[in-house]
Amino acid sequence: MKHSVLLIKALEDGVSVIFTSPEESHSAPPERLDKGEVLVIASPEDRDGIRIRGHAEVYSPHHVVNSESGLVIGGRSEDTQPKE
């Protein structure tokens, strides 16, 4: 059975990574990363959403995304709505 993996690499000090899962009524405390640190997330599909504050690169098996000021993966956020 294959598991997907998500990597988050901080490109500046103080990057916050906040996780939520469907079973929790609130978010877990944020993970704080300093420049150059990498957070490896096994089975990211078990999480409802991942929010990143700060400048980071996110690596998945299919994409690389650069977060300049913040990024939401999954879940819902007003920040992801198109602006007119």
Q: Which domains does the chain have, with CATH numbers?
A: 5-67 (2.60.40.50)
Q: Which residue has the higher pLDDT, 5 or 8?
A: 8
Q: Which residue has the higher pLDDT, 64 or 79?
A: 64
- Output the CA–CA distances (angstroms, integers) from residue 79 to 5, 36, 40, in the order listed: 24, 26, 24
Answering whether pTM is above 0.75, one says no
Task: Round to the nearest angstrom and report the end-to-end CA distance of the chain.
Answer: 43
Phi and psi for 63 in degrees, rounded to 5? -145, 160
| 15, 7 Cβ separation under 8 angstroms | no
Tokens of 60: 């998945």
Tokens of 33: 């990363």
Residues 8-29 pLDDT 10s: 999 999 999 988 766 666 667 8
